[in-house]
Amino acid sequence: MQLVIEAKPYLMQDPHPPGLSSILSSEGPLCEVEQWDSDEPIPSKELERGVAGAHGLLCLLSDSVDKRLLDIAGANLKVISTLSVGVDHLALDEIKKRGIRVGYTPDVLTDATAELAVSLLLTTCRRLPEAIEEVKNGGWTSWKPLWMCGYGLTHSTVGILGLGRIGQAIARRLKPFGVQRFLYTGRQPKPQEAAELQAEFVSTSQLAAESDFIVVACSLTPATKGLCNKDFFQRMKKTAVFINISRGDVVNQEDLYQALASGQIAAAGLDVTTPEPLPTNHPLLTLKNCVILPHIGSATYKTRNTMSLLAANNLLAGLRGEPMPSELKL
C-alpha cells in the first residue's frame, strides 16, 4: 500500500531518511510513505507524481485537491487526511463521488485560534504596531492627551459572524474584558450555545450596524464568500474595528481597503487574506490602520503537534478501514 504524506509532521522526529519509508504495525508494514521533507509547499508537479497510484494522501490547506489531482491519483486513492479544520481546498463533491474518505482536525485548534483572534483584536484596536513604530522612529516625544488613542472593550458590543466552536471560544475569552453585549449571525440560531454568553441572533446587516467590534469566524461557503463587502462596511460604525480569522475570501478586500482608507471604519486586523501570502505591494499593507498576520491562528507548538498526530491517525485508520478519530461526513 502506498501513502503520500505531503507535510512533514511538526515536532515529530523522522527515524527514516527522506523519501520512501514504511509505517509498521504489529503484523508488519502497513504502508509505504513518500514524504515531502520540507516546510515549503510541495511543487504541483511533485505532488502529481507522488499521488499517482497512492492509496492515501496527507495534505495541507494550501494544497488544492481538485478534480485534476484526483484523476491523476486514480482509483487506488481511498483516504485524504488534511492538516486543517477548513476543507475549502478539497473538491468535496468529486471526493464524495469517488467514495474517498476525508479526515480533518477540528476542535484541537479551537483554543489557539481563539487566543490569536483576541490578540489580534487587542493589537488592532489599541494600535500596538503603530505605537511600537513610534518608539523606534523617535515619534515618542512627550505624553499627549489623545496621542495613540484607540478603542476599548469595556461596555462594548461585539458581533461574531459564525458562532461555531471558534466563535464561541472567542466570545468566552472576550467576556471578562467587560463586553456588554454579544451579537451573532449564521445559518440559523444556536440558542443553547448562545445562552452562556447571552448572545443575540440578528441579521448580518444589524450586526454590522450595531457592533463596536466585528469578528469573522464563519466557514467559507458559497453563502459567505464575499459576505463582508462595500454594503457591509458602509453599515458599520466609523469607530468600529473589523477582525477576520476565518478565510480571506469571506471579505472583499478592495471594499475593505476603501473603507479603511476613507475612514468609513476605524481599523481592521486580518490573519487571513486572498491570496496567501499577500503580495508585499498590496494596498492594504500601506495602511496604518490595518494589521495583517501570516495566517498563524493555530500556530502554537502544542496545537500543531496535536494536529499532526490527529491527521496521521485519521489517515492510518482510513487505510485500515476503521473509524477515523475525526472524519468529515460527506
3-class DSSP state of 25: strand
Strands 241-244 and 213-216: parallel
Which position has the grid cell 476503521? 322
Q: Check residue 201 and report its DSSP letter.
A: E
295 assigned to active site: yes
> Are 310 and 105 spatial neighbours (Cβ–Cβ below 8 Å)?
yes
β pairing state of 101-103 and 327-328: antiparallel
DSSP 49-67: HHHTT-SEEEE-TTS-B-H
Instruction: Pick the closest to residue 124 from 328, 325, 316, 288 (CA basis).
Output: 288
Q: 75: left (phi > 0), else alpha (psi -120 to 50), else beta?
A: alpha
* Contact call for residues 72 and 98 (beta carbons, < 8 A): no
- Catalytic hit among 16, 89, 282, 295: 295
**Residue position matching grid coordinates 466609523:** 238
For residue 167 the three cell numbers come to: 466563535
C-alpha cell at 92: 468535496
Q: Which string of b and e fits 288-299 if b means at least 16 CB within 10 Å?
A: ebbbbbebebbb
Tell me the one-letter amino acid at 244.
Answer: N
Positions annotated as catalytic residues are: 295
